């Protein structure tokens, strides 16, 4: 029977695998609804829309994911819908499931993923693509979308990587671009209507209905033609796509106070990467960092009010028992009321062991008062700042308007206030970058240590330099630029390492963490790839590719070998370099041009030219509009404070006040 629990078959496998707890479910605030919660129509047709939500990575990485958690709650609040979660199976479990005939299952009801109407997969990185294929294969869902029938789920991609879903176009039925909250409700309505009407047009009929909304992208409704030199000639609608718009628009949720999710955050059974309750304090960013896809595609800025955040924190802590609250956004210290917010929360939770954290802090938005509020009730951990570029020049190229003096003044204040450890995040391989730009990271780190020793009078000052390889992303001004090769990236990082180590005075106080250039090349291939990359992904998966985001499972050689083999069988003159290190021209049709993030392509191109001229652009939150196109095209606008309100109630929830607060609550 569809919807039956598979736990009886799964249970014997649990004692044979590593971390069996991740497959058991039953977490605090998890939901398990009746399979037929939506009831039946007059002719006995089912009226329940069933979603299996997948984060294509291990449970410990996927379970704290805000996006999945929010959609899980939004869907389960509906009487006529249910949502359950599924994650990637570790290789040991995958092997046993294949041997025992146990299909991909949800952790909530241990139901077969194939029984659901929709398999919604949230991709925050392209390196999860091979894990999607494992899930489809284990679920018994045909891998290619054109082979699926009426009883197979609609495979739907979302998340940041869905802004260019072309590399996985063969494997997905549809993609949602942008915010998911309203999108999943719209899709649920369409599926319910289709079911209650007797499933008119079959599977294609449903996909056509979704595509006609203009806000769900169905790749099979579009045909891609190529030029002899390998570039895309054009993307056109197929003959059957009657009434489908040529461009698909992103979803933007306005007024975040109306969407205070998650209200009941999940508390993982097993250890996870983030042991905290997270509250998204605003969405979007207009700082205009040219490398940052997240900032570009989530415009405009939409803040939650200080009172809305306070309520979410209060309710979330009561529902979970977590002792740390993460105030999430792309640049949390930019919230217009961040000082009042941090002080209000620190006052409220004084003496309760509840710590606050800002996962990302801009150097120029940080101040010691804010830092002291954040650590008042919790532990004082290290501070992380992201200058991104080593030299003043390269920071102008990437529009990261932070001077070295800004950084030094900030760390001086931090070390002077008692911090001992600072982490600095940079990128290697940025457009126009030279060895000299990267070597200046060493000079900056030495200045940080020297400053810390001076202001604190101590020798035990530490600074960790963390470096990631730059990967150009769609819908950014750098979508046209050539990527630095893996070999050049490694060579540049080696020179930096030598420069840090060779300094006897400061070298031992500076730690260096970096990834080699190889994963970045694969990510680059996938992030700016077109439909032809699907054959490479499948070949890598068939050769054993799994968990490519994990260094112990990732194989650069496998990717390069399979890509070379697949490309050799094609007529087009393309290879890995063609997708990664090649610079694109202004008029080239890009694989994602028919997916509308709201950003004008002409504006992005001009910003790319400004980058090459080392010109900086201000933040439109506090300056006149720069005509990026988002607000008029998406019918949205910037929503920021200050609201002028304060956090209430002002009851301090420390040990002495706990009884008082609970007594007030009970009346």
Q: Is the pLDDT of residue 48 over 50?
A: yes
Q: What is the pTM of this model?
A: 0.94
Question: In sequence order, what are the residues at sequence separation of 6 or more whose Cβ sits closer than 8 angstroms to the Cβ of residue 516?
Answer: 469, 486, 489, 490, 493
Q: Is the pLDDT of residue 195 over 80?
A: yes
Rounded mean pLDDT of 454-473? Answer: 94
Task: Supply the mean pLDDT for the chain.
Answer: 92
pLDDT band at residue 379 under the 50/70/90 scheme: low
Q: Is the pLDDT of residue 25 over 80?
A: yes
Q: Are 538 and 83 in contact (CB under 8 A)?
A: no
Structure tokens, 11: 């249970």
Could you tell me which CATH number the domain at 275-378+597-666 has? 3.30.750.210
Q: Kindly report, residue by residue over 116-168, the tens digit of the pLDDT.
A: 999 999 999 999 999 999 999 999 999 999 999 999 999 999 999 999 999 99
Per-residue model confidence (pLDDT) at position 383: 82
Q: Kindly report, residue by residue over 330-369, the tens digit of the pLDDT.
A: 988 889 999 899 999 989 988 888 888 887 667 776 677 7
Rounded mean pLDDT of 631-635? Answer: 89
pLDDT band at residue 664 under the 50/70/90 scheme: very low
DSSP H helical segments within 478-555, as ranges?
Answer: 486-501, 518-527, 533-542
Q: Is the pLDDT of residue 648 over 80?
A: no
Q: Kindly report, residue by residue over 402-444, the tens digit of the pLDDT.
A: 899 989 988 888 888 888 889 999 999 999 999 999 999 999 9
Q: Are 103 and 112 in contact (CB under 8 A)?
A: yes
Per-residue model confidence (pLDDT) at position 310: 94
Span of 50-54, 230-234, 319-323, 596-600 with lowest mean pLDDT = 319-323
CA distance 614 to 619: 16
- What percentage of the chain's residues is helix, strand, coil (to nearest 5)? 40, 15, 45
Q: Is the pLDDT of residue 655 over 50?
A: no
Burial class (CB within 10 angstroms; exposed 0-12, middle 13-18, buried 19+) of 8? exposed
Report domain extents, the chain.
4-247, 275-378+597-666
The residue with tokens 């982490």 is 423
Per-residue model confidence (pLDDT) at position 360: 63
Per-residue model confidence (pLDDT) at position 385: 87
Q: Are 407 and 387 in contact (CB under 8 A)?
A: yes
Per-residue model confidence (pLDDT) at position 652: 57
- Choose the CATH number for 4-247 among 3.40.50.10860, 2.60.40.1190, 3.40.50.280, 1.20.810.10: 3.40.50.280
């Amino acid at each position: 029977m569809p919807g039956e629990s598979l736990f009886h078959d799964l249970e014997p496998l649990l004692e044979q695998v590593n971390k069996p707890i991740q497959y058991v479910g039953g977490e605090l605030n998890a939901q398990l609804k009746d399979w037929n919660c939506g009831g039946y129509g007059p002719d006995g047709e089912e009226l329940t829309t069933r979603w299996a939500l997948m984060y294509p990575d291990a449970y410990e990485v996927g379970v704290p994911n805000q996006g999945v958690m929010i959609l899980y709650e939004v869907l389960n609040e509906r009487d006529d819908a249910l949502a359950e979660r599924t994650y990637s199976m570790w290789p040991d479990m995958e092997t046993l499931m294949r041997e025992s005939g146990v299909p991909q299952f949800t952790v909530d009801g241990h139901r077969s993923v194939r029984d659901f109407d929709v398999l919604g997969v949230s991709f925050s990185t392209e390196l999860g693509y091979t894990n999607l294929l494992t899930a489809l294969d284990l679920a018994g869902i045909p891998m290619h979308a054109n082979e699926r029938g009426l009883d197979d789920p609609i495979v739907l991609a979302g998340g940041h990587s869905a802004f260019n879903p072309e590399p996985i176009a063969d494997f997905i039925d549809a993609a949602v671009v942008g915010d998911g909250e309203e999108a999943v409700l719209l899709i649920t309505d369409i599926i319910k209507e289709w079911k209650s009407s007797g499933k008119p047009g079959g599977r294609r009929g449903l996909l056509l209905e979704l595509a006609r909304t203009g806000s769900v992208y169905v790749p099979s409704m579009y045909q891609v033609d190529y030029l002899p030199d390998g570039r895309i000639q054009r993307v056109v609608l197929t003959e059957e796509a009657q009434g489908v718009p040529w461009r698909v628009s992103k979803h933007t949720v306005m007024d975040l106070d109306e969407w205070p999710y998650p209200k009941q955050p999940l508390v993982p059974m097993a250890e996870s990467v983030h042991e905290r309750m997270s509250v998204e304090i605003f969405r979007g960013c207009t700082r205009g960092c040219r490398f940052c896809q997240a900032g570009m595609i989530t415009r405009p800025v939409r803040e939650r009010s200080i009172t809305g955040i306070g309520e979410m924190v209060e309710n979330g802590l009561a529902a979970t028992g977590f002792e740390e609250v993460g105030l999430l956004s792309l640049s949390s210290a930019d919230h217009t009321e961040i000082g009042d917010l941090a002080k209000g929360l620190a006052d409220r939770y004084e003496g309760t062991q509840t710590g606050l954290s800002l996962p990302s802090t801009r150097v120029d938005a940080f101040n010691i008062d804010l830092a002291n509020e954040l650590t008042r009730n919790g532990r004082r951990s290290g501070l992380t700042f992201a200058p991104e570029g080593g030299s003043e020049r390269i920071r102008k190229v990437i529009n990261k308007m932070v001077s070295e003096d800004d950084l030094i003044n900030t760390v001086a204040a931090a070390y002077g206030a008692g911090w001992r450890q600072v982490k600095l995040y940079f990128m290697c391989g940025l457009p126009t970058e030279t060895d000299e730009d990267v070597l200046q990271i060493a000079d900056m780190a030495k200045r940080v240590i020297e400053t810390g020793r001076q202001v604190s009078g101590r020798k035990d000052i530490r600074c960790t330099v963390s470096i990631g390889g730059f990967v150009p992303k769609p819908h950014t001004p750098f979508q046209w630029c050539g990527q630095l090769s893996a070999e050049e990236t490694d060579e540049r990082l080696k020179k930096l390492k030598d420069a840090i180590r060779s300094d006897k005075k400061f070298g031992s106080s500076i730690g260096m963490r970096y990834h080699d250039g190889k994963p970045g090349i694969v990510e680059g291939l996938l992030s700016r790839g077109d439909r032809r990359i699907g054959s490479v992904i499948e070949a890598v998966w068939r050769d054993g590719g799994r968990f490519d985001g994990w260094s112990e499972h990732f194989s650069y050689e496998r990717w390069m070998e399979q890509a070379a083999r697949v490309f050799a069988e094609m007529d087009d003159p393309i290879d890995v370099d063609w997708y990664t290190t090649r610079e694109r021209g202004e008029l080239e049709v890009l694989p994602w041009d028919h997916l509308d993030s709201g950003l004008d392509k002409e504006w992005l191109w001009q910003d790319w030219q400004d980058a090459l001229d080392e010109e900086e652009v201000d933040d439109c939150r506090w300056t006149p509009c720069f005509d990026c196109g988002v607000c008029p095209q998406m019918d949205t606008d910037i929503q920021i404070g200050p609201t002028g309100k304060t956090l209430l109630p002002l009851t301090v929830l420390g040990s002495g006040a706990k009884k008082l607060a609970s007594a007030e609550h009970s009346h």
